[in-house]
């Protein structure tokens, strides 16, 4: 390589390096699509909409929520994994698509580790171990003892759902065998719990809290590692007789792999700012969601740890979707 060619190459590299921060400062210059893998009104959609609204205000460009439901979030996740890595197609990712489905589904069309990059966790959404009032157990220890003496059924919104695998984790750690009854959604599962057709549900806070406060079911613990501000009077399962138990439900922003780091940083900074806004935190809290902003590195490490944990639980449960 001649000196002139070398010099031109060096200048080109320097110009590209200088252009990246400038591009990030200008980003976004057009509307951004936030892809949601579930229908309007669900927890993922409920999380996405206030964030998109506030990001629109901060960016001066519209952030449009685009619902692409189907295959437990896989359709939406695949769409973003294959999108142009320019920051204009982002994903409100879920524990299902990012941490559970890689073990649950054969032949996924994407690899969340290879094809996506984390931006920030958005929320935690604890489940509540909820029992029909007729079940003679008022604590985790009493439930374990009861389940060792008789068969108990638990409902969930389907095979591979967080509520299903929360039960399988409970089985794995206690040696009991709660019998899983899958439903087409959390609503039908809650209807049958209230009616006494199933004995317990690891239910979302949004569906469980109104029924608990109405006296129609009883909540005995939350599934997160620590107590939840949503129902601080309830112990965590981990502190109530099952150390190490943690079945947290969560959502967070992802972008296609190879998105410029400067754009990821801008998305992270603005989204964290939104999640720390009192009105957003209050809105999410009232929907059973707790704002949980993070750095990209923290969120990436958390996803990897969750993927490893749930892979063991999926294998132990025998759950599989061909």
**pTM of this prediction?**
0.79
Place of tokens 């032949």: 107
For residue 258, the model assigns a pLDDT of 97
Phi, psi angles (nearest 5°) of residue 151: -80, 135
Domain range summary for the chain, segments of one domain joined by +: 3-23+30-125+250-317, 127-239
| End-to-end CA gap in the chain | 54
Q: Using one digit for the tens of pLDDT, what is the confidence trace for 26-79?
A: 899 999 999 998 878 778 888 999 999 999 999 999 999 999 988 878 999 999
Q: Using one digit for the tens of pLDDT, what is the confidence trace for 242-294?
A: 999 999 889 999 999 999 999 999 999 999 999 999 999 999 998 888 999 99
Please report the beta strands in the chain, taking only residues with DSSP state E, as ranges in sequence order.
Answer: 32-36, 63-67, 89-94, 116-125, 127-131, 153-156, 179-182, 200-204, 218-222, 249-256, 290-291
Report residue 135's pLDDT band, with 50, 70 and 90 as the boundaries. Answer: very high
**Domain 127-239 in the same topology as domain 3-23+30-125+250-317:** yes
15 pLDDT exceeds 80?
A: no
Report residue 11's pLDDT band, with 50, 70 and 90 as the boundaries. Answer: low
Classified as helix, coil or strand, 203 is: strand
Q: What homologous superfamily is domain 3-23+30-125+250-317 in, according to CATH? A: Bordetella uptake gene, domain 1 (3.40.190.150)
Q: Stretch 141-146: mean pLDDT, rounded?
A: 97
Class of CATH domain 127-239: alpha beta
């Amino acid at each position: 390589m001649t000196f002139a060619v070398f010099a031109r190459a060096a200048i080109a590299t320097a110009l590209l390096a200088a252009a990246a921060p400038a591009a990030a400062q200008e980003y976004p210059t057009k509307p951004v699509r936030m892809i949601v893998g579930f229908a309007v009104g669900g927890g993922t959609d409920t999380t996405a909409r206030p964030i998109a609204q506030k990001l629109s205000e901060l960016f001066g460009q519209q952030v449009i929520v685009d619902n692409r439901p189907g295959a437990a979030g896989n359709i939406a996740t695949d769409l973003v994994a294959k999108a142009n890595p320019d920051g204009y197609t982002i994903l409100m990712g879920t524990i299902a698509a990012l941490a559970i489905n890689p073990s649950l589904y054969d032949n996924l069309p994407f690899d969340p580790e290879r094809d996506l990059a984390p931006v920030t966790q958005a929320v935690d959404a604890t489940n509540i171990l909820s029992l029909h009032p007729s079940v003679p157990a008022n604590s985790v220890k009493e439930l374990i003892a009861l389940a060792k003496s008789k068969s108990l059924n638990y409902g969930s919104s389907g095979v591979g759902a967080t509520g299903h695998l929360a039960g399988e984790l409970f089985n794995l750690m206690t040696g009991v065998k709660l019998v899983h009854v899958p439903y087409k959604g959390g609503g039908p599962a809650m209807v049958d719990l209230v009616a006494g057709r199933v004995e317990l549900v690891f239910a979302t806070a949004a569906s469980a809290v109104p029924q608990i406060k109405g006296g129609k079911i009883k909540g005995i613990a939350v599934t997160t590692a620590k107590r939840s501000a949503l129902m601080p009077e309830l112990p965590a399962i981990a502190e109530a007789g099952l150390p190490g138990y943690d079945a947290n439900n969560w959502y967070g922003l992802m972008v296609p792999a190879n998105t410029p780091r400067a754009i990821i940083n801008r998305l992270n900074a603005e989204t964290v700012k939104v999640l720390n806004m009192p009105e957003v935190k209050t809105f999410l809290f009232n929907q059973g969601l707790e704002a949980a902003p993070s750095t990209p590195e923290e969120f990436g490490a958390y996803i990897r740890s969750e993927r490893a944990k749930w892979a063991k639980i999926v294998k132990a449960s025998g759950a599989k979707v061909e």
